[in-house]
Structure 1
Amino acid sequence: MNRSEASARSILTGVLERQQTAIAERWVQVQMERGEVGGGLAEDELREEADALVAALSSGLAGDLPVERVVAQHRQLHDAVTDLSMRRARAGTSPTATSLAVLSLKEALLACVAEESLDTRGSLAVARVVNRLVDAAGALSFETYVEGREEIIRRQNRQLMELSTPVVQLWREILAVPLIGNLDTARSQVVMENLLEAIQEHEAAVAIIDITGVPTVDTSVAQHLMQTVKAVRLMGADCVISGIRPGIAQTIVQLGIDLSGIQTRATLADALETAMGLTGQRGPYAPEHP
């Protein structure tokens, strides 16, 4: 670090220490004036973000880390930036608006620096340090936002898949999974996990996988079904596949898919009857044996 940069850093550190509240307040006002808030964040929430980030910036700059590594490696500052970005991602603010909001901190900082009695060279040196710090914070906020939104989308997709593949207890020791729509790898994994957990929870002896709502069965779908059946058997339960319509049966034969080791039935009612037999139970309408 050269003497000019060290001096600029010392000046900026002093400004941050003396004017934390004023800088945070100016930053909030800049965001509100420019409409960079987004997501319906209230003014008190903006002030909370601003206080945390400015305090963390002051702490980070007062340490020994080089300026170019302060944002990435100072834990308090890194967390303040990522928390701000994730909060705005959850609120629905765009990534561009989030980055611009962080970058507008420059204006608040430089306005307070301008109140210091600095010559032109000192002012330029401080401005360079401010630019490097806030640009790094803006880049981190954008990266965090994108990663955070992707994680939110993945979680929402998984929740939707779980809702679209419920495990239903049809009878004592008998579960059913009614599948509707296409069965891809991700959804098959959710089906398998939910079914295995339900088998353990309900101490089920038979699991029925109903594919009546699956439009087509190809090699990939059949492979997913067989993997699920194998997993169910490893849990000590039997598995029955229902919903084998004539068209599905022809497709399975034409593709050479071997389901001979799996019990299949045309309808869910037939599968339930088979499951009742496997568990040695009788339904409410089963005839009494003399």
Structure 2
Amino acid sequence: MTGSEMAARKCVVGAMESRVDEIADRWVQLQMEQGAVHTGMRESELREEADALVAAVAAGLESPLPVERIVTSYADLQRAVTQLSLRRARGGESPTATSLAVLALKEALLEAVQERTQDSGELFSAALLINQLLDAAGALSFDTYVEGREEIIRRQSRQLLELSTPVVRLWRQVLGVPLIGTLDTARTQVVMENLLQAIQDQEATVAIIDITGVPTVDTAVAQHLMQTVNAVRLMGADCIISGIRPPIAQTIAQLGIDLSTIMTRATLADALSEAIKLTAGPLPVAAPAPR
């Protein structure tokens, strides 16, 4: 650490020592004035956020870490920036507004330094330090926000997939999966997981996969269906595919897709009728009439 950096850190830390609360208040005020918050966060929530981040900045500057590593290596500061970004990502705030909210702390810190010293050299060094520190914090908040939003999108996509592939109980020991739309790899995985779990939970012996709502069946879709059927069989259950309409039957035949090992039916009603037969078991043997 160079002498000029040490002096600049001492100047900024000195300006923050007795004014942490004032700096936090000023930062909240700046965010509200600049419109850096649009998610309806209450002022008390902003203040709690500000207290944590300002305290972490002060503690990080007092650490022996070089300024370029404080944000990423000082745990409390990294945690404060990360939590701020994730909270705003979940609230629907934009990444730009989130980064600007972090960068607004620059102005609050510079005002505090200006009240401590009027020396132009000290002010310049302190400004460079604050810019370097909070630019790194802004970059971390942006990266964290993007990762957080991607995780939210993945979770929501998963939830939509689960909602679009329900497993329903049609009859005693008979489950049904009505499919609507395109069947891709991700959706097949969700269908398979949900169906296998339902077979275990409900002790089902027959599963009906209805593809009436699937617009087309190509080689990839057929492969996905066969994977699901094989997984169901490994669970000890029978699988029936229903909804084989004439155009789909013709396409399957033209593509040379072999579904001969899979039980298929034209309609869901036909498949359910077959499933009832499969679960009915052998008919009881009548007792001989008494003599």
Q: Tell me whether the two structures share a fold, i.e. TM-score over 0.5.
A: yes
Range 65-74 or range 55-64, more displaced: 55-64
Q: Which residue of 2 aligns with 1:265?
A: 265
Q: Which residue of 1 aligns with 2:33?
A: 33
Q: What letter matches 1:99 in structure 2?
A: S
1:245 aligns with 2:245: yes
Q: What letter matches 2:116 in structure 1?
A: E
Q: What letter matches 1:134 in structure 2?
A: L
Q: Distance in 2 between matches of 1:64 and 1:261?
A: 69
Q: What letter matches 2:248 in structure 1?
A: I
1:131 aligns with 2:131: yes
Q: Which residue of 1 aligns with 2:236?
A: 236
Q: Distance in 1 between matches of 2:128 and 2:281?
A: 79
Q: What letter matches 1:145 in structure 2?
A: Y
TM superposition shift of 1:149: 0.9
Q: Which residue of 2 aligns with 1:97?
A: 97
Q: Distance in 1 between matches of 2:281 and 2:39?
A: 56
Q: Give unmatched runs, 5+ long, in structure 2.
A: 287-291
Q: Which residue of 1 aligns with 2:8?
A: 8
Q: Which residue of 1 aligns with 2:169?
A: 169
Q: Distance in 2 between matches of 1:281 and 1:18?
A: 82
TM superposition shift of 1:82: 1.0
Q: Give unmatched runs, 5+ long, in structure 1.
A: 283-288
Q: Deviations over 1:149-203 (max 9, x none)?
A: 1111111111111001100011111100000011111111111111111111111
TM superposition shift of 1:281: 5.5
TM superposition shift of 1:58: 1.4
Q: Which residue of 1 aligns with 2:280?
A: 280
Indicate conservation of the 8 Å contact 2:212/2:243, yes or no.
Answer: yes
Q: Distance in 2 between matches of 1:215 and 1:199?
A: 27
Q: Which residue of 1 aligns with 2:142?
A: 142
Q: Distance in 1 between matches of 2:88 and 2:20?
A: 22
Q: Which residue of 1 aligns with 2:289?
A: none
CA RMSD of aligned residues (A): 1.3
TM superposition shift of 1:118: 4.6
Q: Distance in 2 between matches of 1:102 and 1:93?
A: 13
Q: Which residue of 2 aligns with 1:286?
A: none
Indicate conservation of the 8 Å contact 2:117/2:123, yes or no.
Answer: no
1:191 aligns with 2:197: no
Q: Distance in 1 between matches of 2:106 and 2:189?
A: 47
Secondary structure of the residue aligned to 1:257 is coil
Secondary structure of the residue aligned to 1:37 is coil
TM superposition shift of 1:13: 2.0
Q: Percent identity?
A: 69
Secondary structure of the residue aligned to 1:104 is helix
